[in-house]
Amino acid sequence: MSLEHLIQAMPKVELHVHLEGSIRPATVLKLAQRNHVPLPADTVEGLQEWYRFRDFAHFVEIYDRVSRCIQTPNDFELIAREFLAHQATQNIWYSEVTITPYTHYRLKGLTFAQQLAALNRARTWAEAELGVTMRLVLDFARKAPPEQAAAVADWAIASRDEGVVALGLGGVEQGYTAAKFRSVFERVCDAGLARVPHAGETVGPASLWDAIRAADATRIGHGVRCLEDSALVDELRVRQTPLEVCPTSNVCLGVVRRLADHPLPWLLEAGLYVTVNSDDPPMFNTTLTGEYLALAQAFGFGPAVVERLALNGVRATLLPVAERADLEAKFSAAFADVCARFA
């Protein structure tokens, strides 16, 4: 059996992928021209050169500029349809997609209701036409004032039955803790929604402890720097808090120097709960399929480890219990079928 064929054909889920960061360069150019948003380049090749990151601050700059290209509900529906169509080509059955809605409200006057309706139109289309679907994680930046975070939490709580499954926390870690949002996360928890903050990416264990204590994190975005603190590793092992690991992103943003240095194998060896994700795929010149292929090549993973990582993703979804169990059963059957075909 060719492991490459297995990885390409197997079903997948993705838990850590940003909608605004998933827009293809050609679509960024199309939206920028349509909405008269200036960019540093006017070709796909030029944008790809612009994407050559210097540091995390440069990445945030690029992300913000791309986000400004989204101006209307139709733009939202377009990028969501393109995203889901590309997920379908990779056999990614289900995605939990992060969006940053307050940015679009503050800068462009797009109400959250407009954004959500557009995204759900795309979701309905993808379910009917492609057989794939998504749910939404609403995030806000660590730099945000508490009242902005509270507004996003209100939107999340009110939209639990319209595809929203969690509240997230993103942006620059250094100097910005989750602690100032403790009451917001407590309210979201009381409402039955998950909390999925980014932590342990560009800042070490202190950021992860903060995410655990202030947000009672259901899952953690990245989390790869937990290995710097043995007590933290023990805590995460006991809790079995899923880590949304994004290997190529970590390389591009300088968290690790090269993929061969990535701590993912040591996270698994430590008994931690690891999932594989692409983060902002066009910006990092990757895909979820590409992440699995790169990991298998770098660390010699065979089908058993690949299946374990993929099943971890299924089991860490924020779907209702019955839906998650149904997805896992279908995934296991499909994975077995793929293995049989490539035996």
Mean pLDDT confidence for 19-33: 92
The confidence band for 302, taking pLDDT boundaries of 50, 70 and 90, is: very high
Residue 20 designated active-site: no
Inter-axis angle of helices 303-315 and 288-299, nearest 10:
140
Model pLDDT, residue 48? 82
Q: Which helix (H) or strand (E) holds 114?
A: helix 112-129
Catalytic residue of the set 14, 77, 173, 201: 201
Mean pLDDT confidence for 252-278: 96
Cα 187 from Cα 198, distance rounded (Å):
19
Q: Which helix (H) or strand (E) holds 17?
A: strand 12-18
Residue 159: partners with Cβ closer than 8 Å, 6 or more residues away: 112, 116, 136, 138
The residue written with tokens 């199309």 in the block is 30
Domains of the chain: 3-341 (3.20.20.140)
Q: What is the mean pLDDT of the chain?
A: 94
pLDDT 10s digits, 185-201:
999 999 999 999 999 99
Model pLDDT, residue 93? 98
Chain mean position to CA 114? 22
Residue 261: partners with Cβ closer than 8 Å, 6 or more residues away: none
Model pLDDT, residue 237? 98
Model pLDDT, residue 50? 84
pLDDT 10s digits, 66-101:
889 999 999 999 999 999 999 999 999 999 999 999
Mean pLDDT confidence for 158-183: 94
For the CA atoms of 183, 189, 194, 199, the dihedral, rounded to the nearest 10 degrees, stands at 30
pTM for the full predicted model: 0.95
Model pLDDT, residue 343? 67
Whether 327 contacts 311, CB under 8 Å: no
Model pLDDT, residue 174? 86
The confidence band for 172, taking pLDDT boundaries of 50, 70 and 90, is: confident
Chain mean position to CA 257? 22
Model pLDDT, residue 53? 67
Q: What percent of the chain has pLDDT over 70?
A: 99
Model pLDDT, residue 233? 98
Q: Provide the 10 A C-beta neighbour count for residue 13.
A: 27
Whether 300 contacts 268, CB under 8 Å: no
Strands 133-141, 164-170: pairing is: parallel
Whether 108 contacts 149, CB under 8 Å: no
Strands 12-18, 92-99: pairing is: parallel
Looking at the DSSP bridge assignments, the partners of residue 168 are 139, 196
Model pLDDT, residue 1? 60
Mean pLDDT confidence for 292-312: 96
- Least confidently predicted of 45-49, 118-122, 128-132, 289-293: 45-49
Model pLDDT, residue 281? 94
* Greater pLDDT, 253 or 308: 308
Q: What percent of the chain has pLDDT over 90?
A: 84
Residue 115 has pLDDT above 90, yes or no: yes
Model pLDDT, residue 165? 98
